[in-house]
Structure 1
Amino acid sequence: MSKIVIRRFLKDITQHFPEAVPLMEQHEKWAYTFRFETFSELTNQAFNLGDIDKAISYLNYMSKKFESASNIEAEYIDVYYVEHLFFSCTAEAIDFGWPLVPKNLQQLYINFHGGAPNKKL
């Protein structure tokens, strides 16, 4: 059952954000966790490029989804989306991106990482 829920979730992401399809298709269809991390990486790319509209659209989608998520969806948002945010970001992108992250996603990030993202040296 949880596989079906996640497949539907991934399909919904690609329907809302077709630009995610080529990145997700680099992974096997069954590699749900990698596909989710790819969507997080797409958010990181928006931060790095200073693309506020895309970053906000990705973040708001996940924030709203989290509010009504099933347990498995919430786990995927937390573990495979939020925990991966800022992984590939520059210091400037962290400064740009962190204030854009909705409070519910910020709290998930802080719960895992122990604080806001650190700037790389």
Structure 2
Amino acid sequence: MQSAYAEPVVNTQRAAAEYTLNFPTSRYPETGAHIKDAIATGHSSVCTIDRDGAEENRRESLKGYPTKKGYDRDEWPMAMCAEGGAGADIRYISPRDNRGAGSWVSHQVEDYPDGTRVKFIVN
């Protein structure tokens, strides 16, 4: 099932991503700002889905970032992306924003198999 937010990338040359995902910054402003800032500083805007690597990526990306009461540690690239893990950009944000955004993204890509490349558009 393709969402209203995900659109196939059509290009006669090899596309960098198979789909684009327009992230709803108005619904998840803290996560959206984090993704936008992380991409602006050089992190990938493309996520290659790698669900099996998520646990290890999360462990690697969060090393050295202690938990803070009342906050989640948001990572970009996300742990479920092959581009995630060590060197990911970490930001402390509200649990409601972080978990809502994570659930939203998960729902958008649930039908995409591992290895699918998704470009995140954040306005």
More strand by share: 2
TM-score (norm 1): 0.35
More helix by share: 1
Higher RCO structure (Cα 8 Å, ≥6 apart): 2
